[in-house]
Structure 1
């Protein structure tokens, strides 16, 4: 069974999407990155929040559209309150977190089930299901948007010392979650 990783690119002020879920800001920070390449090779499935699944993609309309700029293909599990009535090839829609996590981990095999989306990331962190957190911190301040992690009333999620890597586009911070 796979491990669960919450991964995203965020602004230095902590936003993974801009106002109105805008992801176009990310275009300027996409580029070669050995940590991202390493991650793509380890991802066996993606656990995607409904808003992220239906939302903006910085590569929308190009051959690079999709998870990891189109560099990854595999099973996608979407956690949503409103699954579509028509099946989508390669995509499983589920309505509860436990089923979503189990399905994504099973589909990942020995790899990672990579979380895409702030709300599903928050839910998985709150449930104690996340094994690793990988954030690519882009050199930009957005000032508003969707935060990487928000838990009303606060929450303490302890992380081990990160593995750090720097490129011209971002600094990656790869943490293990303390259980």
Structure 2
């Protein structure tokens, strides 16, 4: 069965976006290096440090399916029909995707599910034995609270935002993670990876 990793770029105080959904300086590290990081599904490239490339490129290449919430879909306009990572994308939503968007992107490898549990199950089915990436924030926090997340990956940026969208959404309660098995210092970012302790 596919493993599920919750991932996001996060401030030191635990926010993945400001209250207005902008990211402020969180993504600056994507543009401060000389090595081209490539999101193959979308074709996007980012000049990052060599250390960040060596960590992030293999991670992105292993992602088969990305799982996002409807809010992120609407905020990004569905990334123009191209998954940010992986070959397919599942949107957790209680509403159909906009007809105009579907008509404009008839070949988009996007699927929908009506709940977090159904979304994770569909993403795992699509990924086979691969990797499912759940975006951090409210959706990721719901999956984490439901015990559906196997791994946590964070790109920690040295900034304190003070308010905004929390990495773990509204999750409360104590969950133990194993010690980090990956700690990589990039330029203005620290890449961390944990396994959720079962």
For the pair 1:123 / 2:136, whether they are aligned, the reply is no
TM-score of the superposed pair, with normalisation by structure 2:
0.77
* Matched residue, 1:49: 69
How far apart are 1:73 and its partner, in Å? 4.5
For the pair 1:156 / 2:187, whether they are aligned, the reply is no
- Given that 2:153 and 2:193 are in contact with CA atoms closer than 8 Å, whether structure 1 keeps it comes out as yes
- Runs of 5+ unmatched residues, structure 1: none
Alpha-carbon distance between aligned partners in 2 of 1:38 and 1:28, rounded to the nearest angstrom: 20
What is the CA deviation profile of residues 101-149 of structure 1, one whole-angstrom value per residue up to 9, with x for unaligned ones? 1111111222210001411111111111100000010111111110111
Matches within 5 A, 1:64-143: 67=84, 72-86=85-99, 87=102, 88=105, 89-143=108-162
How far apart are 1:24 and its partner, in Å? 4.6
Which residue of 167, 170, 173 maps to 2:186? 167
Alpha-carbon distance between aligned partners in 1 of 2:183 and 2:61, rounded to the nearest angstrom: 19
Aligned-partner SS, 2:153:
strand
CA separation of 1:80/1:25 partners in 2, compared to 1, >3 Å: closer, same or farther? farther
- Runs of 5+ unmatched residues, structure 2: 31-47
* Matched residue, 1:39: 59
Equivalent residue pairs, number: 169
- Given that 1:42 and 1:112 are in contact with CA atoms closer than 8 Å, whether structure 2 keeps it comes out as yes
- Given that 1:51 and 1:117 are in contact with CA atoms closer than 8 Å, whether structure 2 keeps it comes out as no
Structure 1 residue runs of 4 or more that deviate by more than 4 Å after TM superposition: none
How far apart are 1:81 and its partner, in Å? 2.1
* Matched residue, 2:37: none
- Given that 1:104 and 1:113 are in contact with CA atoms closer than 8 Å, whether structure 2 keeps it comes out as yes
Which residue of 141, 155, 163 maps to 1:144? 163
The structure that has the greater radius of gyration is: 2
Aligned-partner SS, 2:20:
helix
Q: Which has the higher contact order (CA 8 A, sep 6+)?
A: 1
How far apart are 1:169 and its partner, in Å? 2.9
Aligned-partner SS, 1:9:
strand
* Matched residue, 2:35: none
Alpha-carbon distance between aligned partners in 1 of 2:83 and 2:163, rounded to the nearest angstrom: 24
